[in-house]
């Protein structure tokens, strides 16, 4: 009985370690990030709203599409610097939305450029819902 309990404890510990490893490494998936933002926003991401948000200007000089393209399935180019930008749609870029810290950094910067403020969780969920649907 003691060996069975010891085995159960070790197995439980391994499951817990493997469950938190992606979070500790900063690794995630587009779907996991979408779920997080939907939970925070208290609503599901809407791809139609996301596409509208992505392609329209919000009182500033650029839209998201100004640099990332519409649809965002090809290499984009920064509207000011000309720097090349990998496709933003996860179907065309297997590293898109796989590091939460990187995603948050770029949402913070780009929302300031496009909207003049940080995007909220609902806007992030809408945009990512749209981007995940780009095939």
Is 96 contained in some domain? yes
Q: Domain containing 82 — which CATH number? A: 1.10.760.10
Pair 102, 30: CB distance under 8 Å: no
Is 117 contained in some domain? yes
pLDDT, residue 24, reads: 44
In the predicted structure, residue 22 carries a pLDDT above the cut 90: no
pLDDT 10s digits, 100-135: 999 999 999 999 999 999 999 999 999 999 999 999
Q: Exposed, middle or buried: residue 21 (CB in 10 Å: 0-12, 13-18, 19+)?
A: exposed
Confidence of residue 27 (pLDDT cuts 50, 70, 90): confident
| Domain of 79, in residue numbers | 27-133
Report the predicted TM-score, pTM, of the whole model to 2 decimal places.
0.79
pLDDT 10s digits, 82-105: 999 999 999 999 999 999 999 999
Is 2 contained in some domain? no
Domain count of the chain?
1
């Amino acid at each position: 009985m003691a060996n069975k309990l010891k085995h159960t404890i070790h197995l439980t510990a391994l499951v817990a370690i493997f469950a938190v490893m992606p979070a500790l490494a900063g690794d995630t998936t587009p779907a996991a990030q979408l779920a997080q933002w939907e939970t925070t926003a208290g609503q599901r991401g809407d791809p139609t709203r996301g596409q509208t948000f992505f392609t329209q200007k919000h009182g500033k000089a650029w839209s998201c599409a100004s640099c990332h393209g519409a649809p965002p399935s090809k290499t984009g180019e920064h509207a000011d610097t000309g720097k090349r930008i990998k496709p933003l749609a996860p179907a065309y870029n297997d590293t898109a939305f796989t590091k939460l810290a990187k995603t948050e950094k770029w949402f913070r910067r780009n929302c300031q450029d496009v909207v003049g403020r940080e995007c909220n969780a609902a806007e992030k969920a809408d945009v990512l819902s749209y981007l995940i649907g780009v095939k």
